[in-house]
Amino acid sequence: MALMQFGSIKENVITCDEFPLSRAKEILKDETIAIIGYGVQGPAQAMNLKDNGFNVIVGQRQQSPSWSEAIKNGWVPNKNLFSIEAACERATFICYLLSDAAQIECWPIVKKYLTAGKTLCFSHGFAVTYHEKTHVVPPADIDVVLIAPKGSGRNVRKLFLQGKGINSGYGVYQDYSGKALDKALALGIGIGSGYLFETTFNLEVYSDLVGERGALMGALAGIISAQYQVLRQHGHSPSEAFNETVEELTESLMPLISENGMDWMFGNCSTTAQRGALDWMPRFKEAVLPLFESLYENVANGKEAEIVIAANSQKDYRERLQSELESMRQEEIWQVGEKVRKLRLDYEDMND
C-alpha cells in the first residue's frame, strides 16, 4: 500500500507494483468466485478474472437473455455457468453484481448461501448503505467488501483487452476473517484495476449517485440540450448546432482532457476560446453549485434511493424506461447525431 500525494491530501492507493497479480492469485487460490448477475458489470469482471487464471463461475437466472449471452461468451452450463442458487452454493467468494433492484429481489435467495467464512463482494454500495430501505443486511460471520470500478462494464473489459486497467474504489464493510482487505484488493487486481483507491460503502454510493445525476450523465445531458436549443432558436442549422455542442466535445476536446487534463485542453485551443472559457467557467460553476449541494443532500438523506427503489420495483419499469429512452432518442439533437455519426463512420470506412 502506498501513500499518494494529491495537493495537500494523502491517499492510500494500490497498484500492481505494490500488489502484483501473482500475489492476488495466491490469496484467492482456494476460493471459488461466483459472479452473480451477467448484465452491466458481470460479463467484464467474470471474463477478466477467468483470463487472469482465477477459479470463477457465473450465476445467472436461467432462460434469460443474459444466460444466453453468457453461453455466447464461452460459459458452459453446469460447468462454470449455473443458476443463482447453484452458483452461490458452490462459491466461497460471491460477487453480487445484479442491478440494485434485482439485488433487493434476490437477497432472500442469496442470503441462504452466505454461510460462515464466505466473502460477499459488491461493486456498488447502494444495497448495504440504504439497508433500511433495501433490507440487505449481511450476516455477521462473513467478510463483506467493495470493489467499485469507475466505469461501465464495457470499459472494464475494453481496457483489460488493451492491456490497461480501470480505476476502482476498494472498501471493507465487515472483516470477519481478518483477511478481508487482502481479499478485496486481490479481487480488484484480478478484475484488471489500474489502481485502487480507498473508500467506504457510504462514500462510494454517495459519489456514484451524485456523479450519475450530475457531471457524468444528468447535468451533462441537460447542458448539451440547453446549448443546442439556444443555437437552434437563433437560426443555426441542426448540423452546426450538433457539431458545436456534441461532436466537438466528444471527438476533439474530451480526448484531450483524458490525455493531459483540463488545462492542457485549454492550452491546445485558440486564444479566443481560452479567454471565453476562463471568463465563463466561474459563472457556470456559481450557477450550478447550489444544484449540486441540493443533489448531494438528497443522496445522503436517502431521498434519491427512495425514488430509485420505488421506480424500479414497478412491474413495468423496464417498459417505462425504454419509453423514456425512446423519447430522448427521438429528440432532434440525437436524430441529427445519428446521421452525423454515420457520415463520420462512412468517411472512416472510405479511408480504411
Judge if 188 and 258 occupy the same domain: no
Residues 110, 86: contact at Cβ < 8 Å?
no
Give Cβ neighbours of residue 321 (< 8 Å, ≥ 6 apart). none
Q: What is the pLDDT of residue 347?
A: 60
102 found inside a domain? yes
Alpha-carbon distances, residue 70 vs 45, 154, 192, 224, 255 (angstroms): 12, 15, 20, 36, 32
Query: Within a domain: residue 221?
Result: yes
In a shared domain, residues 278 and 178 = no
Q: Is residue 16 part of a domain?
A: yes
CATH number for position 270: 1.10.1040.10
**Chain position carrying cell 462454470:** 80
* CATH code for position 52: 3.40.50.720
282 and 334 share one domain = yes
Q: How far apart are CA 87 and CA 110, in angstroms?
A: 10
pTM of the model: 0.90
Q: Which of 199, 233, 253 is the last residue of a domain?
A: 199
Catalytic residue, chosen from 124, 131, 135, 234, is 124
What string of DSSP letters covers 81-96?
Answer: EE-HHHHHHH-SEEEE
The verdict on residue 9 lying in a domain is: yes
- pLDDT value, residue 350: 59
Is 204 inside any structural domain?
Answer: no
> Is 218 found in the same domain as 194?
no
Residues 82 and 59 occupy one common structural domain? yes
What would the grid cell of residue 139 be? 450476516
Domain edge (last residue) among 144, 170, 199: 199
Both 296 and 164 in one domain: the answer is no
Domain count, the chain: 2
Same domain, 122 and 234: no
Which residue in the block uniquely carries the three cell numbers 462459491?
Answer: 91
The x, y and z cell numbers of residue 165, run together, are: 486497467
Catalytic residue flag (residue 236): no
Nearest to 21 by CA among 162, 187, 159, 157: 187
Domain that holds residue 174: 2-199
All three cell numbers of 50, joined, read 477467468
Quote the CA–CA distance of 168 and 135 in Å, as a whole number.
Answer: 26
Q: Which of 170, 199, 228 is the last residue of a domain?
A: 199
**In this predicted structure, what is the pLDDT of residue 6?**
76
In the predicted model, residues of the chain with pLDDT beneath 50 are: none
Angle between helices 201-213 and 218-233 (to 10 degrees): 10
Please name which of 66, 62, 51, 54 lies closest in space to residue 26, comparing C-alpha atoms: 54
Q: Check whether residue 304 and residue 335 sit in a common domain.
A: yes
149 and 270 belong to one structural domain: no
Which among 96, 117, 264 has a CA at the least distance from the CA of 180?
A: 117
pLDDT at 312: 87
- Is 206 a domain residue? no
User: Looking at the chain, how many residues does it have?
Assistant: 352
What pLDDT is attached to residue 11? 83
Nearest to 189 by CA among 177, 179, 181: 181
- Shared domain for 172 and 34, answered yes or no, is yes
CA distance 308 to 305: 5
User: Does a structural domain hold residue 144?
Assistant: yes
- What single string gives the DSSP state of each residue in 70-82? HHHTT--BTTTEE
Residues 68 and 91 in one domain: yes
Residues 66 and 160 in one domain: yes
The answer as to whether 205 is a domain residue is no
